Every structure is written in C-alpha cells, then in structure tokens.
Chain A
Amino acid sequence: MTTIAAPEAIPYLRSFESLEQNGYGQHPDWLQALRRDAMDAFTALGFPTARRGNEEWKYTDVGPIARASFRIPTQSCHSESIEESLADRVDSLTDPNWHRLVFIDGCFTPHLSSLPNIATVSNLADSLDSHTPLIRQHLARHTPYASHAFTALNTAFLHQGSFLHLPPETSLDRPLHLIYLTTAAETHTLSQPRTLAVIGRGSKATIVETYAGPDDTPYLSNAISELIIKENASLDYYRLQQHGDEGYHVGTTQAVLGDGAHFSSTTLDLGGALVRNNLNALLDAPESSCTLNGLYLAGETQKIDNQVIIDHAKPHTNSRELYKGILGGRARAAFHGSITVRKNAQKVDAKQEDKNLLLSDKAQVNVKPAFWIYADDVKCGHGAASGQIDENSLFYLRSRGIDHEQAHRLLVRGFANEIIETVGCPSVKSLINNLVKTKLTEL
C-alpha cells in the first residue's frame, strides 16, 4: 500500500523506523503489527487541522503542534540518580497513602512506585507475557486510530504504560495513582502516556491520573487511557492535568461499560498552553451509567478544549455531565458535548451542562452541544451558561464586612466548589482542593 505521507509526519516515521530496527523488534508480533498499522495511519493522516472543515477541531488549532516536530525519547530511561532527584517532585503530586505507578518521560520507575498486591498493577510492557490474551483483547481495541491522528501517534509508539487488572469482586483499598511526569530535559520532547485498566465484574476502584511537566519549555504529552468496566463494576476516575505553561497536552480517555456498571470521572485542567481532552463513554449494556464532571481553570493565553462524547448504545442507560470553567486573562475554552442515543436505546436519561465564569473581558468560551437521538422514549437535557461574578452576591458578602477582593475570591472558589463537592474520596478531594486553591491565586 502506498500512502502519501503528510509532511509533518515524516520525522515521526523516521523515529519509528529506527526504533523498529533497534528496541521494538523484541516485542511480540501482534504488538509490532499493531504499531506498524497505527504508524501507517498517522503517516497518512498527519495532524488534524481546523482548516480542513473538521468540526471536531473547530475551536482548537493544533498547528503549533504540527509545526513543532516533537522528539520521541530514545528507549534508554533516566539513570537512577536522576530519578531519585525527582522523588520530591513526585511526592508533591500525590498522597503518600495511595498506591502508585510512576512514569518519568514514559519510563516506568519502580522504586518511586508502590503497588498493591491484590490486583495486577504493573508496567504494561512487563505484563505482555503474563497477560497476553487480556491485553490483546483490549489494548487499542476501544480507541480506534484509523481516523484519529493523536491516537494513531500514541499507538504507533506503544511501549510502556500502566496496566491494571482487577479480578471479579475485588476492590482496591485505596486510590491508585498513575503519575506521568515529563521532565522535558531536552526541548520538544514527546511523551505518550498509556493506560489500560480492566475492572472485573462487581469490582470497585479509584484511579487518579496525573499529568505534569515543567514550565518554560515546550513539550507534547499525548495520552490514551482505555478503561473497561465490567458488569456491576464501578470506577471512580480522576484526571489531574498540571502541565507546564508551554506544555501541549492531548488526552483521550475511552470508557466501555458493561451491565449495571458505573463510571464516574472528574477531569481537572490547570496547566498547559494548549490542552485537548477527549473523553468518550460507551454505555454498552443496559443499566450502565456515567457521571462526567470537569473543572477547567485557565488564565493568560491558555487554551483548554474538552470534547465529551457519550454513546448510549443500550436502553436504560443514564448519563450526567457537568463541566465548569473559570477563565481569566485571554484564556480560551471550548466545550463540545455530544450525546448519541442509538435506535432501540429506550428509557435513556441524559443531562449535560456547561457553566463558565469569566474573570476578564478577554477570556472566551465556545460551547457546542450536539445530540444524535435515534430512539423515541428518551429524556435529554442540556444547559450552557457563561457570565461574570454576580454583583448581587458580591454586595451581599461586602455588606458583611468582607472586602471586595476576598468576596470575589470566595465567590470564584464557590463556583468551583460545586464540582469539588462531588468528589467522594476525602484524600482525592483534599488533593484537588489544594490544586484548585493554588491555581485560583494565579488567575
């Protein structure tokens, strides 16, 4: 097959070929074939552009990413002493009581990690032998790459990553923290975090993903998480994006739900120059449900784009979406919520809401809801709002002696609280609380 390579894909293709000749050859054939296929897809696609009439990328121009040409890190990981020097940084991102898997520039770092013993939690690359059927069954099966450039790019270089397999009727006793830290020691590095989690029938887990990197240097973090939630299982999923001020982040999370399963997700965006999150939930069996919440706080020239796609494939499925944004400076945000209700998916109940608080006249938000409803007995609702601090509330607080600045702060904080209050797990809540508090002082 000959495809015309998109020019911006060529450096990535070169890296791919050189890796294939060196390290990647040792991996199982099926994985090599998968990567090759994804590389072909990316080579043909190139990066998406707003120009090609692409609705999906209407509000986010990834031109800067396409033009930059990011470097794939070589397979050699950091020395232990460099990793050791990052221990404090890692500690600052997490709660000491959680289980954790730490990846530094894509490399699994065992001695900064602490694993539970009741489930399989490991580096994906290390589990390829022991868990081949399960991994093969799920890896890259739920996030199609044929027409998604960033997914293709991640899959083409698929190597290390987090793998969680929770057998039926087991529960993780505490949150599992997946920390993907970019050091950006060299400029323009590409890190591609990958997560695969299979939550067995009737099991329960809390997964927290943290994406972080340094300020003052451009890098790209292109992440994919595949979350398979079997019947009656439930997953609490948090995604804490804390990239540096010049970091680019594209993250795709795909959840697939079985009978009676529940997926609850909280997406927190604090950092990054340009951020695009794709969150997809496939309600693939009756009585499955999802609650998708998001909070994005952006200032200066940050751009944060959330696309949330919910597919009600089966009847009696239920979804709740609440995203809130606080925007200062010249920040731009986009929220694109798409809800599909398939034919025969009767008794679906779906609600979507996006609310924004604008702290400056130059901040801007675009909201684009989309409903594709092919069943008739369906309850769907959506709302969108954006506005400035409420003057009535401000005066009410001031009339109690609270000065203008503190009143403003309390109200902004109050706006965020609606999302924070939904966090059930106290230790996760306290971590998020602190992150939000710090970020709000910068807006």
Chain B
Amino acid sequence: MLEIRNLHASVNDTPILRGINLTIQPGEVHAVMGPNGSGKSTLAFVLAGRPGYEVTSGSALYQGQDLLEMMPEDRARAGLFLSFQHPVEVPGVRLDQFLRAGFNAVSKSRGLEELDPLKFDRLLRRRVKTVNVDPQMTRRSVNEGFSGGEKKRNEVLQMAVLEPALAILDEPDSGLDVDALRSVAQSINDLRTPENALLLVTHYQRILNYVVPDRVHVLVNGRIVKSGGKDLALDIEANGYDGYEEAANPTLAQPASP
C-alpha cells in the first residue's frame, strides 16, 4: 500500500526527515511514536503533500504510484487521508458543505455518483451517528469555536465520510477525555477493513489498547530508530525515549565541549 524509502525532507531549508524507511501493507495498523519535534507531523504532512515541505531525496510509493509527484487533492482522491494534529478553523465555510465538496470530489474521481445536498445530508447523518458527534456541529463553520475534543472527533467524522484506503492519523487521541478516547478509538476501528491501512501517530500507549498496531515505530530526530511489535509502545510508556535519542544522534551522546 505504502512504501517509503530513505525519505529526506526539509522545511525552510532545515532538514527534518533524515532517511525514513517504512512499508505498510493493506489491512495493517502502524503506530509511530517519538518525542516532541522529532518529525512525526512533518512525515504526515510530506505524505499528504503540504506545500512548503521539500523532499530532498528518497521516494514514497502509494498503491504503485509516485505519491510525492501528486497534488494534495489527488492524493486525497486516491484514498489518502490525513487527520490533522491541529485541525484548521475555516470561518464562513459550513462543515456539511465542506464535507460534501470533499466527498463529491473523491467520488467523482472514483467514478462514483456525486450527491446533491439532500442525498448527502442523509449519508452525513448516518456517519454523524456512527462517529457519535453532535448533529448540530455539521451546520457550523468548519472547526470554528470547536473544543479540542470536538475538533478531533470532527477529523474522524471526515474520515468516515471519505472512507480512505490509507489514513494517517496525527495524534487523534491527544486532548481527549477517557470516554472520548474510547469512542474515537471505537470509531477508528469501525472504519477498518481488510483492505485499508492506518498510520497512527501517538504519544500514548492507551489508544493502542483499542486500535491494536501490527508494528510500532520509534521516530527520533527524523529517523525511525526502532521498530517492533505492540509491546514496544509499553516499553516507551515505561521508560521514555532516553536510550533512543542517543541511538538516533550520536553527537548528543558526546560530552559538551568546554
């Protein structure tokens, strides 16, 4: 589904990703953990095609296509979805209209029927129920004035509407209360099929109790320094990243010069 090879990327000429290798098969869940600033969101943005992120070397194949050559909207139409760590407020654009625009753009490129507002409303109401968000929310401006938790649920709602093949979820669990976390995790699981895959960025092992990963990767300083099974998350939860940081950047381990 996704094959990332030796991916290097810079933001404002600062190298952030420094050689990422990662392969995801259909049906798999991969978790990415790592300290603040290690490049997790950068990886997510590079995969989603955010302007301003310059790939300096390496490659990413998505369903056999050169992902890095595609426009962000084409990636979405090809079934890639990014749940934002910080969802964007879009004043004046109603959530239901925004979602219909996205849904129709994706449907059209897949040769499926585009829906008029009435039909889409019916579909949206079903999704709203499965994801368990306040139905009133869809008539408000996108994310405007939403609480942190509401924004995260809204991302999951969008995923439910767009039904992506590969969803990159950048900290869908941060800022959620315990019940919300369980409910969001439940929704994410409901959307899983044997064909689609998840790349889940998180700081906490807790969500992985619900959305059980096939692989856990530790991203430090722009590199994946360790990969393992779901127990790796438990280890990080218990011991933090201390040992990994040294492994990632040998210069850090050297004594500071006087």
A interface vs B, CB < 8 Å?
Answer: 391-393, 395-404, 406-407, 410-411, 413-418, 421
Contacts and interface: CB of A to CB of B under 8 A. Distances in A.
A393 B99 CA distance: 14
Contact of A413 (B93, B99, B158): B93
Interface residues of B, number: 33
B51 A395 contact: yes
A144 B138 CA distance: 50
Given A404-B73, A410-B98, A410-B101, 19 more contacts: A391-B52, A392-B88, A397-B102, A398-B71, A398-B73, A399-B84, A400-B98, A400-B106, A400-B158, A401-B76, A401-B103, A402-B73, A403-B71, A406-B105, A410-B93, A411-B93, A414-B90, A418-B91, A421-B92
Contacts of A421: 92
B76 A411 contact: no
Given A396-B84, A396-B87, A400-B162, A414 B93 contact: yes
B32 interface: no
Contacts of B88: 392-393, 395-396
A156 to B, nearest CB: 44
A352 B170 CA distance: 39
Contact of A406 (B87, B92, B101): B101
18 contacts: A391-B52, A396-B88, A398-B49, A399-B75, A399-B81, A400-B101, A401-B73, A401-B102, A401-B103, A403-B71, A403-B73, A404-B71, A410-B101, A411-B90, A413-B93, A414-B91, A414-B93, A417-B92
A85 B72 CA distance: 51
A192 B50 CA distance: 53
A400 B76 contact: yes
Contacts of B166: none
Contacts of B156: none
Nearest to A420: B92
Interface of B: 48-52, 71-73, 75-77, 81-82, 84, 87-88, 90-93, 97-99, 101-103, 105-106, 109, 141-142, 158, 162
Given A392-B88, A416-B92, A402 B48 contact: no
B172 to A, nearest CB: 15
Nearest to B99: A400
Contacts of B92: 411, 413-418, 421
B82 A401 contact: no
B71 A402 contact: no
A276 to B, nearest CB: 27
B162 A401 contact: yes
B77 A401 contact: yes
Nearest to B79: A401
Q: Which of B76, B92, B102 has the most CB of A within 10 A?
A: B92
3 tightest CB-CB pairs across the interface, nearest first?
A: A414-B92, A400-B102, A417-B92
Given A401-B102, A406-B105, A395 B72 contact: yes
A2 B73 CA distance: 72
B50 A395 contact: yes
A417 B82 contact: no
A399 B86 CA distance: 14
B101 A402 contact: yes
B200 to A, nearest CB: 17
B50 to A, nearest CB: 5
Contacts of B103: 401
Nearest to B106: A401
A416 B87 CA distance: 22
Contacts of B71: 398, 403-404
Contacts of B99: 400
Contacts of A397: 90, 93, 98, 101-102
Q: Which of B91, B109, B162 has the most CB of A within 10 A?
A: B91
A391 B97 CA distance: 20
A178 to B, nearest CB: 29
Q: Which of B71, B99, B102 has the most CB of A within 10 A?
A: B102
